[in-house]
Amino acid sequence: MKGLTGGQIDEIAHGELRTRVLGEVFGRMERQFRPTAAGALSALIRWRITGESEVVYETTIADGVCTVREGRTDTEAQLTLMMGDAAFLRLVSGNGNPVTMVLTRKLKASGDLGLAAGLNRYFDIPKA
């Protein structure tokens, strides 16, 4: 992701490749979760990734365990994050500053903004 423009990322984020990349990223979240950092946190985080179509994933953190599922449930999320493909990939690869992304409206957060501010400490985010 480093060195690519948002437009270049958007160009490759289509069809089957996009589906595979999103599946890989969300598939790794459970393994990259830091249960000791999360402590007694209990939260549902909804990720709305826009692009050629909107894809929704939900991350549930409870009892020291992180589970991820594709799709939206009827449960109210404590935090909803909405962003395009390029912003999402920058964020999860450690190449994007979430505060800057919010200020430039590349990332929209609603709900528990305190949870949003500390989200990176609950996961081992690769630096690429």
The DSSP symbol for 44 reads E
Per-residue model confidence as pLDDT tens digits over 13-50: 777 888 888 999 999 999 999 999 999 999 999 999 99
For 68-77, letters b (16+ CB in 10 Å) and e give beeeeeeeeb
Q: Which two tokens stand for residue 87?
A: 């912003």
Q: What is the mean pLDDT of the chain?
A: 88
Does the pLDDT at position 70 exceed 90? yes
Does the pLDDT at position 5 exceed 60? yes
Instruction: Tell me the average pLDDT across 97-108.
Output: 90
Instruction: Report pTM.
Output: 0.88
Secondary element (H or E) of residue 43:
strand 43-50
3-class SS of residue 123: strand
